[in-house]
Structure formats: C-alpha cells, structure tokens
Amino acid sequence: MWNTLSRMLRTGLLTEPLPKLSEARSVVEGLPLEPMQQNLLNILGRALCIRHVDAGSCNGCELEIQALGNPYYNIEGVGIKFVASPRHADLLLVTGPVSVNMEEALRRTYEAMPEPKLVIALGDCGACGAAFGSSYASRGGVSNAIPVDKTVAGCPPSPPEILRAILDLIRPAADEV
C-alpha cells in the first residue's frame, strides 16, 4: 500500500490543457478545463456520453480512443464519458470502413440512440473507406450507412485530434447557452 501511495504522489497530476479548437475565435493554445465542463453542464446537466462502435476498423483508431482515458488527456475530467449502451449516448463515435457484416449492427446501434444524436466518423476509413474502399465486403465510409455530422482524418487520428473534433462538434451549442 505504501508503495502504491508513494507512486501516486511521485507521479502527481499529468493532465494537460485541452487541445485548441480548430476555429480561430477567442481561443488560446490550451483551453482551461473548467469553462468546458460548465458549458457541458449548462447544455446537458451531466457528462457528454459517447458510444463507440467499431464498424470494421483495423483496431488502430480504437487504440487512440482508449488513449483518451490516459492521465494526460483525462477525457472523463473534462466531462466526457464512454457508455456501454447506445440508449445512454448523445454521440456515436464510429471507426472503420463499414463492413457488410457490421452494417446492420451499426444501424441498430444508431437507431437505439435517443434524439438528438450526433455522429463522428473517425479516421480515414470512417471518412471515406480509405485503403478498404467499397467492395463486396465493405460499404466504405460511415456516411454510406448512417448520417454523419463530422469526420476526423488520420490513420489513426491522434488523441488530441479526436478530442478536438468532439469539442468542435459540441462547442457551438455550448456557446449559445
């Protein structure tokens, strides 16, 4: 126990500021966390809930989504959490080209979400099918299966790029409040 506690103390807090938004308005490098959390609270009254679906990815994008949970990015500290059920989700984060074998499961997950729902297609494959394209086994980009609000390029996109895309998508609504 002493060993565990001393390691915690020695490691300290590692969480970094949020990545800059892509638009240039009133933004300095590294957003403080508190206003974002307050905005999320104002809109939703709770955390932003994300459901992730791998619609046929190579697992590269999954690794970078998982990295958002590490102490440097600390995505839960911002007020964003991953949920197990689409019925609890505000945002669907989809990776991969849509394989024909996952098409129905993806659509059913999307349909199970309550309105209003947001969808991000993650990675080059999610955006357009990339190396896998459209074929007997792949439908290509996510927008060929369900409506998509935002795409994030990259193979795989880095955690700050994923986080920035999520913030970009919810920020306009937050600003209105």
Partner 1 sequence: MAAEKTDEQQVKMFGNLACSRIRVDREGWISTAEQLSESGARLLTLWGTDDRDQAGGFRIDAAYLLSDSVLVVEHRMVDEGEPWYPSLAGLFPVALRMQRAAYDLLGISTNESDDRGWLRHGGWPQMVFPLRRDVDGSQQYPVVSQPYSFVSVEGDGVHEISVGPVHAGTIEPGNFRFSVVGEKVLRLEERLGYTHKGVAKLFESLTQHTGHRLAARVSGDSAIAFSWAYCAALEAITTTTCSARALALRALALEHERLANHLGDLGSLGNDAGFAFGFTHFSKLKEDLLRANSVVFGARYLMAFVVPGGVAADLNTEARSLLLELYDALETSVINLRTIYDNHAGLQDRFREAGRLDRSTAKRLGAIGLAGRASGLACDLRVDHPWAPYTSLAVTMMTQKGGDVAARVQIRFDEVVESLRLCRALLTENDSGVIQATVPTAQSNQLGMGIIEGWRGPVAVVLETGRDGGIHRCHTHDPSWQNWPLIEHAIIGDIVPDFPLINKSFNLSYSGQDG
Residues in contact with partner 1 by CB under 8 A are 3-4, 7-8, 11, 14, 52-67, 69-72, 82, 84, 96-97, 99-106, 109, 131-139, 155-156, 158
Q: Whose Cβ is closer to partner 1: residue 49's or residue 174's?
A: 49
Q: Whose Cβ is closer to partner 1: residue 19's or residue 156's?
A: 156
Instruction: Give the burial string for 84-107 (b: 16+ CB within 10 Å, else e).
Output: eebeebbbbbbbbbbbeebbeebe
Supply the minimum distance, in Å, between the C-beta of residue 99 and partner 1. 5
Q: Whose Cβ is closer to partner 1: residue 120's or residue 174's?
A: 120
Q: How far apart are CA 125 and CA 18, in angstroms?
A: 25
Supply the minimum distance, in Å, between the C-beta of residue 165 and partner 1. 16
Supply the minimum distance, in Å, between the C-beta of residue 65 and partner 1. 5
CA angle 85, 134, 159 (to 5 degrees): 50
Tokens 């307050």 label which residue?
38
Q: Whose Cβ is closer to partner 1: residue 136's or residue 172's?
A: 136
Supply the minimum distance, in Å, between the C-beta of residue 47 and partner 1. 16
ω before 116 within 30° of 0 (cis)? yes
Q: Evaluate whether 12 touches 3 at the Cβ level (below 8 Å).
A: no
